[in-house]
Amino acid sequence: MRFMPVAGERQRYAERKALLRGRAVEQHTHKSGLRSKLSAMRRSLIVTIIVFMLVAGGATAQSTAGVQQQPVGSRDGRPITLYTLTNSHGVEIRAMNYGGIIVAIRVPDRKGQLADIALGHETMEGYIPNPPYLGAIVGRYANRIANGKFTLDGKTYSLPQNDGTNTLHGGVKRSFDKVTWDGEPLKGTTGVAFSYLSKDGEEGFPGNLTVKVTYTLTESNELVIDYEATTDKATPINVSQHSYFNLASEGNGDVLNHEVEINADRFTPVDKNLIPTGELRPVKGTPLDFSTPTRVGARIDDTYDQLTLAHGYDHNFIINRKGDGLTFAARVYEPTSGRVLEVSTTQPAIQFYTGNFLDGSVTGKQGHVYKRRYGFCLETQHYPDSPNHPDFPTTILKPGETFRSKTVFKFSAK
């Protein structure tokens, strides 16, 4: 089932209908007497209708501010619902309880023109399968765990390997992007909460892990994502959001012209399997230095070993922070539209991925073919493979503790 048209499309539809009605009226009056007088009256009537429709269309965007729900199919016998969060500026975030997937993000450009900047599909079925993890919540362990193995409290755990010998984004069958979450609109605010119980042993991980992810849309055009988790056995957790953005609009070419700034003096270099070597390397003097805004395409094909290994940017940047509060992590600007995305987070790091592995095999919305580097991800996270790096900040959640993290994606234009 197709996702219902967005507010903008509803408005365009109303305008088209008004115009067609206008033409029909004009044809009908063509042969009658008092022709010119009548058609003048009709023309003014048409103008009135169009103006009314536009105002009504605008009002629709206003009056639908809040959360709308649409049934969009079922998975494993459970209903899948699409939640549309709309604020009074007409900004729209759409997400469904299958994989907690964000299916659309409609935000204005510098002229106020809304466009969908999230790569994705027009139906729930389009996401089955979803090899690039478009828009999904990723976990239990976002990013890679080397050789699908880790040892905790003297016990070695084996996970399904789905990226060479690594485990990527939590496994194969029941990773967070592929399961049905419980969805519930938030009360008193424009948001939705998705909850999921990942059972002890699921995808090889220990402990019954209860996870809650909420998406809230603010009146300042921010998407606020809150993560929370508890467990009954010690277990690693690293949960993130895998939206691919193209600030010019989804499907609108590659992202090489976007300008990126990342608040990180260091990153974790990787080996040929994209597993951190353990080194924390300064970005200074490397093509990974985004301490001042730089075009993605300016250095992406340099022969620097890290870029060759990852086929572009696909690296974990360590956020410069004072304390553990919400800290500015990255800003992206797209010059043709003027759109800006700013990311803040409580997480220690952020994966900047330039869609190097998009290869044209996925066709998304409106028949758009998602080719190499047609989108970028900014995945707030802990360092990859932390369970095998005791010197990295710990990702182990223990019974009695609550894992909490927050990430804010703020959309604006200049």
Interaction between residue 132 and ligand BGC (CB under 6 A): yes
Name which position in 127, 133, 196, 376 contacts ligand BGC (CB under 6 A): 133
The residue among 49 and 350 lying less far from ligand BGC, judged by its C-beta, is 350
Q: Which of 242, 315, 382, 389 is catalytic?
A: 242
The residue among 196 and 353 lying less far from ligand BGC, judged by its C-beta, is 353
The piece of 104-112, 149-157, 263-271, 349-357 that touches ligand BGC (CB under 6 A) is 349-357
Residues from 379 through 408 that contact ligand BGC (CB under 6 A): 379
- Least Å from the CB of residue 404 to ligand BGC: 22
Name which position in 87, 351, 380, 395 contacts ligand BGC (CB under 6 A): 351
327 Cβ neighbours under 8 A, 6+ residues apart = 263, 319, 320, 321, 344, 345, 346
The residue among 143 and 243 lying less far from ligand BGC, judged by its C-beta, is 143
Interaction between residue 164 and ligand BGC (CB under 6 A): no
- Least Å from the CB of residue 311 to ligand BGC: 9
Interaction between residue 202 and ligand BGC (CB under 6 A): no
The residue among 83 and 127 lying less far from ligand BGC, judged by its C-beta, is 127
- Determine contact, residues 226/404, Cβ cutoff 8 Å: yes
Burial 103-135 (b: 16+ CB within 10 A, else e): bbbbbbbeeeebbbbbbbbeebebbeebebbbb
Window 18-57: contact mask with ligand BGC (x via CB under 6 A): ----------------------------------------
The piece of 16-24, 122-130, 260-268, 351-359 that touches ligand BGC (CB under 6 A) is 351-359
Interaction between residue 353 and ligand BGC (CB under 6 A): yes
132 Cβ neighbours under 8 A, 6+ residues apart = 119, 244, 355, 357, 358, 362, 370
CA-to-CA distance for 404 and 410, rounded, in angstroms?
Answer: 20
Q: Which residue pairs, CB below 8 angstroms and at least 24 apart, start in 207-212?
A: 207/231, 207/232, 207/233, 207/234, 207/235, 207/399, 208/232, 208/233, 209/140, 209/235, 209/237, 209/397, 211/139, 211/176, 211/239
Q: Is 379 one of the catalytic residues?
A: yes
- Determine contact, residues 236/386, Cβ cutoff 8 Å: yes
The piece of 192-200, 220-228, 350-358, 397-405 that touches ligand BGC (CB under 6 A) is 350-358
CA-to-CA distance for 273 and 20, rounded, in angstroms?
Answer: 58
- Least Å from the CB of residue 334 to ligand BGC: 21
Interaction between residue 314 and ligand BGC (CB under 6 A): yes
CA-to-CA distance for 335 and 397, rounded, in angstroms?
Answer: 42
- Least Å from the CB of residue 296 to ligand BGC: 15
Range list of H helices, 196-329 = 305-310
- Determine contact, residues 60/69, Cβ cutoff 8 Å: no
Q: What are phi and psi of 32, to 5 degrees?
A: -75, 160
The residue whose two tokens read 């139906």 is: 123
The residue among 83 and 227 lying less far from ligand BGC, judged by its C-beta, is 227
- Least Å from the CB of residue 315 to ligand BGC: 8
Interaction between residue 170 and ligand BGC (CB under 6 A): no
Q: Which of 121, 250, 379, 382 is catalytic?
A: 379
Window 253-282: contact mask with ligand BGC (x via CB under 6 A): ---------------------x--------
CA-to-CA distance for 338 and 340, rounded, in angstroms?
Answer: 6
Between the alpha carbon of residue 251 and those of residues 107, 132, 364, the distances in Å are: 15, 15, 8
Name which position in 68, 295, 357, 371 contacts ligand BGC (CB under 6 A): 357
The neighbouring-strand residues paired with 225 are 215, 407
How many residues line the site for ligand BGC (CB under 6 A)?
Answer: 12
Positions that interact with ligand BGC (CB under 6 A):
132-133, 143, 168-169, 274, 314, 351, 353, 357, 377, 379
Catalytic residues: 242, 379
